[in-house]
Amino acid sequence: MSDTENRTEIAELGEFGLIRHLTQHFKPINPSTLKGVGDDAAVLDYANKKIVVTTDLLVEGIHFDLMYVPLKHLGYKSVVVNLSDIYAMNATPKQITVSMGLSNRFSVEAVSEIYEGIHAACKKYGVDLIGGDTTTSGKGLLISITAIGEAEAGELVYRNGARANDLICVTGDLGAAYMGLQLLEREKKIFLESPSVQPDLENQKYIVGRQLMPEARRDMLENFKSWALKPTSMIDISDGLSSDLLHLCEESGLGCRLDESRIPVAEDTLKMAMQFSISGTTAALNGGEDYELLFTIAQSDFDKVQNHPEISVIGFMTEPEKGRKLISTGNAEYELKAQGWKAF
């Protein structure tokens, strides 16, 4: 942590002083936020909207490695992954809470960097920080973020709404965040073995950026609204395309045919995959952390998405008896399996 020259112990401020210091620049902007930080509980007014809630717990050493994850990026990403879950319901995030377990390894300056990232994400996505909790932890850093959002009842999109013959669509490209992680892990190992060798990540900005600072697809919800398109089912890709597509199949009680040749993989991702002797498809299927939206639409809606450069139609849903299949570029049929890397 880059805090050797300018280090304020958390104990100097105390818990309340720290919270005040961290949250002073957060001013609520959403009308649904009646009371934010500073009372025993936050107060929200959602009138007759449906409320969507999601939470994530991130543990140092399991979900992130501070050897190569800058604290500001950690704060940003922690928020974005939660907002992505709200968008995947076709809902709009409005508030977050942030809870942290901090050890005395962390200075006030270090925690402030995390909050700079949190602040940047709040600003970019228009959400209010409305509370949280702060406690000490033995050694590592823990961050838990809860996001709250809204939707009209008829707007919500679940994992279970797909029908046979619906088209499977995905936004952006896949596998980049995974290859970014592989690269960072490799460079970390090299650095630990010979600290004089500085990693050169300059040419790998795309995949490293996708790993360290992902974005949530708010733009797609805006597109869906303007096209009067309601996906029949939707999920965000956090565990890898295969695992997350299987979730849609499972919840909707369907099979699928996924066309390998249509899976979008960026050039930089392909190049790095080659260095690691895996295919771009493997990175896309089993990598994860893309935070792209995977959704199904009725065939009659095809014309709404077909010309969008950021949406790929990668297959279609089938009756369950047909199974869950990956059709390779060589036209061979494989069973689609979830190999997404799991924390457990």
Q: Least distance (Å) from ligand ADP to the CB of residue 319?
A: 48
Residues in contact with ligand ADP by CB under 6 A are: 19, 22-23, 37-40, 98, 100, 129, 131-134
For ligand ADP, give the closer residue by CB, 132 or 340: 132
What is the CB neighbour count within 10 angstroms for residue 324?
Answer: 23
Minimal CA–CA distance to 105: which of 57, 139, 73, 156?
Answer: 139
E strands, 104-141, where? Answer: 128-136
Minimum separation from the CB atom of position 133 to Mg ion (A)? 4
Q: Residues 208, 307: contact at Cβ < 8 Å?
A: no
Q: Are 329 and 337 in contact (CB under 8 A)?
A: no
118/162 with CB nearer ligand ADP = 118
Least distance (Å) between residue 266 CB and ligand ADP: 35
Choose the one of Mg ion, ligand ADP, none that binds residue 38, judging by a C-beta under 5 to 8 angstroms depending on kind.
ligand ADP
In the bound state, the residue with its beta carbon closest to Mg ion is 133
Helices marked H in 253-319 — which ranges?
267-275, 280-286, 302-305
Measured torsion, CA atoms of residues 255, 343, 56, 135, in degrees rounded to the nearest 10: 170
Q: From ligand ADP, Mg ion, none, which one binds at residue 61 (CB under 5 to 8 Å depending on kind)?
A: none
Residue 280's binding partner out of Mg ion, ligand ADP, none, with CB under 5 to 8 Å set by partner kind: none
Residue closer to ligand ADP, measured from CB, 76 or 178: 76
Write down the least CB distance from residue 133 to ligand ADP, Å: 5
Residue whose CB is less far from ligand ADP, 131 or 149: 131
176 binds, among ligand ADP, Mg ion, none (CB under 5 to 8 A by kind): none
Hunting for tokens 């924390």 — which residue is that?
343
Contact by Cβ (8 Å): 208, 184: yes
What's the number of CA atoms in the CB half-sphere (13 Å) around residue 285?
Answer: 23
| Dist CA 179 CA 280 (whole Å) | 9
Q: Shortest approach of Mg ion to residue 85 CB, angstroms?
A: 24
Which residue number, 36 or 172, has a Cβ lying nearer to ligand ADP?
36
Contact partner at residue 143 from ligand ADP, Mg ion, none, CB < 5 to 8 Å by partner kind: none
Residue sitting closest to ligand ADP (CB): 131
Instruction: For residue 189, give both structure tokens.
Output: 């190992």
Output 19 or 327, the one with its CB closest to ligand ADP.
19
Exposed/middle/buried for residue 314 (C-beta within 10 Å: 0-12, 13-18, 19+): buried
The torsion of the CA quartet 205, 211, 213, 215, rounded to 10 degrees, works out to 110
Shortest spacing between CB 25 and ligand ADP, in angstroms: 12
